A and B are shown apart, each in its own frame.
Chain A
């Protein structure tokens, strides 16, 4: 793992390790909750990809925006959403980030600039363009980061968004999280050309490739690109190579995956890599273990709190639909 030579760097890495561990704990405990029948819908886990969201968001301010996708738990935690409110959302309880209306694929926390996970692929890209236009119009010194999966780079709106962002030199960082799969399809089998970097470069957009499992490497490049974007140099593209360690959704048995493939990738997973670096750089094993146990403790408590939270009252079905008009049946009641 590569890291900057700065003296305060170990602290920054510890901080990022903390976030990554919190995400990992959240995803593992969410799966347990799912298996126990506590989660109403399905969950897309971010396990193995934690370094990307963590390091990108470590370079963002609260006033910056992110737009996420269906695999959004990690992005939300990294941007500062409260894991307890998120767990309540997964369980469909009062106090959830969306009050129980949205569930796993619709986690958002506008108070920290997390403008939403999304159930429809690529819509975050075009909305990210709009959010950037708004920042320009409002003369805010803030930027937008949009997370997009490798498979989604084959949808048309991806190109529309990149082209548009480039024309108007919008303050956006596009982050492509290449975990090599799109559901049960190996993305390469349905994707032409040399890859996402070349696709972004075709629009004249500066595009960079990084080992997405190396939190320091992502931190360094994201920091540089975000700085440029803040200074008015327009959109940038970051392609982060990683691997989806779990199934597409938690109950996916991954029968389409070659035997041994997952195991081969486990040696490269970002938490392990980060731990190795910390040990080599003099951080005590106990300090690392403490971070981990605190994270799991925090998420276990979040799950307990979620389990104890009441279900939203059924009358809330009819709130927050729109200002005008009656949402009840046929408008009669």
Chain B
């Protein structure tokens, strides 16, 4: 099997298509899916309507509650829906169906039913997206018992995680970054090459400090680590990929080696997932730590529009570098 270079959007589409070929009960629903040959969904569903038809690529009305609710109903009734809510911001319209239904049905009905669905919702600051098109809400769902949360950083992750998410019997919140849709990477052609949920990857190994992040922030962390080599600071970059469950083994192993931990996240730092990782590592590895665990994330403000403010809001490679140096001094 060879590797192909492709965008995240194409990688996820291929992952979805492969799973749809493998299992006739996998299907997708969402707004503008069947007009994807030039619509706003760009590459993500291109051509799928032609291959799989209208029963399996369902173009929905603008009806978020029913997109999410229908996915839940279809999942308990024996199919594997992939619901596309477009952006995490619009997915808020259907938080009820996701949090009160999908996440709890297995438990509150005493294990009678499983809810094997995937809900796609894009996160991340998109240039000029402002307050209602740029939010990163992964912490909301990590906080919700019953849900799996994944957030790919590379095209290979994007495809492999989509495939695992579809095969999982739990409801999976699949959070892709808007800025990465058109980013390219190497992706395997092997339809059995999956990315296991719960397994992080080491993007760069190092000995001085462990830098944990996910989604686009993992790429910025890698960039920061490469630049820091010049200053002889050896950073180990962990791309978490899966946020719940998260790969504690790998993070613990790395922190035990380096004795230092920085968590970088794009979302609001206060009560974010970085707080959980920091607290967990502090509770469990305190004797291995050479210095306090640190976090970096967005301020507790809505995402501003103007370039100057948007740049102030963003977590950048430079800010990660600064924080690493602070930790090392």
Contact = CB atoms under 8 A, between A and B. Distances in A.
Interface in B110-142: 127-133
16 contacts: A40-B127, A96-B306, A100-B308, A100-B309, A101-B130, A101-B309, A105-B132, A119-B132, A120-B93, A155-B63, A183-B32, A253-B38, A256-B37, A313-B308, A317-B299, A331-B270
Contact of B131 (A102, A185, A313): A102
Interface residues of B, number: 47
B95 to A, nearest CB: 13
A327 interface: yes
Contact of A120 (B35, B132, B300): B132
Nearest to A255: B38
A100 B306 contact: yes
Contacts, number: 155
B221 to A, nearest CB: 17
A317 to B, nearest CB: 4
A120 B301 CA distance: 19
B89 A120 contact: yes
B170 to A, nearest CB: 27
Interface in A301-323: 311-318, 321
Given A103-B305, A256-B38, A328 B299 contact: yes
A253 B39 CA distance: 8
Contact of A311 (B40, B61, B90, B306): B306
B236 interface: no
B304 interface: yes
A75 interface: no
Contact of B309 (A89, A156, A316): A316
B307 interface: yes
B128 A42 contact: yes
B127 A155 contact: no
Nearest to A91: B306
Given A101-B306, A119-B131, A321-B300, A185 B31 contact: yes
Dominant secondary structure of chain A at its interface with chain B: loop
A266 interface: no
Given A184-B35, A317-B309, A190 B61 contact: yes
A256 B41 CA distance: 12
Interface string B39-54: 1110000000000000
A325 B131 CA distance: 19
Nearest to A252: B40
Contacts of B133: 41, 105, 119
B39 A183 contact: yes
B308 A119 contact: no
A106 interface: yes
Given A184-B38, A317-B313, A152 B128 contact: no
Contact of A254 (B38, B90, B269, B299): B38
Nearest to A39: B128
A121 interface: yes
B311 interface: yes
Contacts of A185: 31-32, 35, 39, 59
B19 interface: no
Contacts of A267: none
A106 B269 contact: no
B295 A330 contact: yes
Contacts of A183: 31-32, 39-40
B310 interface: yes
A119 B36 CA distance: 21
Interface in B291-306: 295-297, 299-302, 304-306
Contacts of A40: 127-128, 305-307, 310
A329 interface: yes
A94 to B, nearest CB: 9
A191 interface: yes
Q: Which residue, of A248, A321, A329, has the highest number of chain B Cβ atoms within 10 A?
A: A329
B301 A318 contact: yes
A123 to B, nearest CB: 9
A98 to B, nearest CB: 8
Nearest to A98: B305
A189 interface: yes
B288 interface: no
A158 to B, nearest CB: 10
A312 B309 contact: yes
Contacts of A327: 299-301
Contact of A184 (B40, B62, B300): B40
Contacts of B312: 314-315, 317
Nearest to B129: A41
In the A-B complex, the 5 residue pairs with the smallest Cβ-Cβ separation, listed nearest first, are: A255-B38, A41-B128, A184-B39, A92-B306, A119-B132
Contacts of A122: 62
Contact of B299 (A42, A101, A189, A318): A318
Nearest to A92: B306
Contacts of A312: 306, 308-309
B157 interface: no
B208 interface: no
Contacts of A135: none
**Interface-centre pick from A40, A151, A256, A315 (highest chain B CB count, 10 A):** A40
Interface in A120-139: 120-122
Contacts of B309: 92, 100-101, 312, 314, 316-317
A122 B297 CA distance: 31
